[in-house]
């Protein structure tokens, strides 16, 4: 997929800047080579990485762990805080690779984790290679003994964190996870995985607040960005997606451990979707689980051959049968959702699809300045069920609100 030139230029500049990370002002750099890491891609470097981290974390001055160019095998690693100083950086200039044999990185569901941090920066022009292809093949064969897949990078129970400039390839599961955090910025990341790689969401947000994503390029086999329950005050801007399943709020209503599954105050603007399954999606399961989605703005999006450019699906069932709550009306309330300046082409006749709950119809849905065609013709259609809203300005296909 061709990246828009302004975004590409910004990524190149960012990657170049973090490759040559200077020593923190008044602090020190802890090079993993000095702790015994071997850049051969064969010797497990988890121990040296963790020892370097321990020294940086206990430093009273600003500190950085530095992974220089080379290939470093890491079976799995969890970097924990809180640290003595808020100014801790984990800088990756090389390539960190997972074990080739799936299942060798443990059963926690995580490969590289940072948790209980305040003020962390994870940055660099380096790569995290999840080597997920063997596990994908196991799952696609339908084997029952496939081990637990692992997400590549997890930021958990932390605040004021920056993740910048990294490249993540071939994750077994999600590439970047932000879990139970406050104040996280993800900037200039690149995600790469094949279109048929299962459940390889690019960036997954869960139970977090005040999270921003900027200047991301995501090609994967599932949602480019997935927004789970418990998220609020999110800002997503300048994201190029494709292949993938689009930017999705949800799925909600699948009994994920919270009493009320809620997502609110989300802005998604200046995005590009190329050949994706969906563009801008909200999805909920049927059933009695309570929750809501409210205060969402999707603005300035360009679609190119997208199956479902605009979609609210409150009868979500990815396997078409055997889904929890299948056939039951969703109890997730969706309201105050705005679509402004959405343009481009749909790969299917229905470019705008609002399939809402019969028990709790969608309300306050707004379309403004929408121009979507079907295969570059003007014959696209809209579909509405159980939805109330308004259309402003030029709206194509003609609104069914």
Known catalytic residues are 245
Residues facing 31 on adjacent strands: 66
| Euclidean distance between the first and the last CA atom of the chain, given in angstroms as a whole number | 33
User: Phi, psi at residue 292, to the nearest 5°?
Assistant: -160, 155
- Residues 204, 174: contact at Cβ < 8 Å? yes
Distance set, CA 185 to CA 212, 233, 250 (Å): 5, 12, 20
Tokens linked to 121? 């920066």
What the block records as the tokens of 289 is 């689980």
Q: Per-residue DSSP letters for 25-36?
A: TT-EEEEGGGGT
- Beta strand spans in 157-220 (E): 159-164, 167-169, 176-179, 182-187, 190-192, 203-206, 209-219
**Residue 142 burial class via C-beta count within 10 angstroms: exposed 0-12, middle 13-18, buried 19 and up:** exposed
CA 239, 69, 14, 180 dihedral sign is positive
From the list 387, 374, 365, the residue with the least C-alpha distance to 304 is 374
Radius of gyration of the chain from its Cα atoms, rounded to whole angstroms? 21
The pair of structure tokens assigned to 312 is 């609210």
CA distance 305 to 309: 9
- What is residue 102's DSSP assignment? T
User: Widest CA span of the chain, in angstroms?
Assistant: 65
Q: Which residues, other chains included, contact 392 with Cβ-Cβ below 8 Å and sequence gap of 6+?
A: 366, 367, 368, 369
How far is it, in rounded angstroms, from Cα 373 to Cα 50?
53
Nearest Cα to Cα of residue 100 among 61, 143, 71, 140: 71
Q: In the 3-class helix/strand/coil scheme, how is 272-300 assigned residue by residue?
A: EEECCCEEEEEEECCEEEEEEEEEEEEEE
């Amino acid at each position: 997929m061709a990246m828009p030139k302004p975004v590409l230029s910004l990524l190149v500049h960012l990657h170049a800047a973090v490759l040559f990370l200077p020593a923190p002002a008044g602090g020190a750099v802890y090079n993993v080579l000095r702790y015994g890491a071997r850049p051969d891609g064969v010797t497990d470097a988890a121990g040296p990485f963790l020892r370097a981290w321990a020294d940086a974390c206990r430093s009273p001055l600003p500190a950085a762990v530095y992974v220089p160019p080379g290939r470093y095998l890491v079976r799995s690693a969890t970097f924990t805080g809180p640290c003595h100083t808020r100014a801790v950086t984990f800088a990756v200039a090389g390539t960190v690779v997972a074990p080739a044999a799936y299942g060798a990185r443990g059963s926690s569901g995580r490969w590289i984790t940072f948790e209980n941090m305040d003020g962390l920066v994870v940055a660099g022009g380096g790569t995290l290679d999840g080597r997920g292809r063997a596990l994908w093949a196991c799952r696609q064969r339908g084997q029952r003994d496939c081990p637990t897949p692992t997400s590549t990078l997890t930021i958990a129970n932390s605040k004021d964190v920056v993740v910048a400039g990294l490249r993540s390839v071939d994750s077994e599961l999600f590439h970047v996870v932000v879990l139970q955090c406050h104040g996280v910025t993800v900037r200039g990341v690149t995600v790469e995985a094949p279109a048929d790689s299962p459940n390889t969401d690019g960036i997954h947000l869960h139970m977090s607040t005040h999270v921003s994503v900027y200047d991301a390029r995501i090609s994967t086999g599932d949602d480019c960005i997935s927004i789970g329950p418990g998220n609020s005050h999110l800002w997503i801007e300048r994201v190029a997606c494709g292949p993938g399943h689009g930017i999705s709020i949800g799925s909600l209503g699948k009994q994920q451990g919270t009493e009320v599954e809620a997502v609110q105050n989300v802005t998604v603007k200046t995005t590009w979707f190329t050949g994706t399954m969906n563009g801008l999606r909200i999805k909920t399961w049927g059933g009695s689980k309570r929750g809501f989605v409210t205060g969402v703005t999707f603005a300035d999006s360009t679609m190119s051959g997208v199956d479902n450019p605009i979609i609210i699906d409150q009868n979500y069932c990815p396997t078409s049968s055997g889904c929890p709550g299948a056939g039951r009306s969703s109890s997730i309330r969706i309201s105050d959702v705005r679509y402004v300046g959405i343009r481009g082409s749909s790969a299917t006749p229905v470019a705008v699809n609002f399939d809402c709950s019969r028990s709790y119809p969608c309300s306050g849905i707004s379309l403004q300045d929408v121009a979507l065609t079907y295969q570059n013709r003007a014959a696209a259609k809209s579909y509405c069920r159980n939805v109330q809203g308004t259309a402003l300005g030029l709206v194509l296909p003609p609104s069914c609100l």
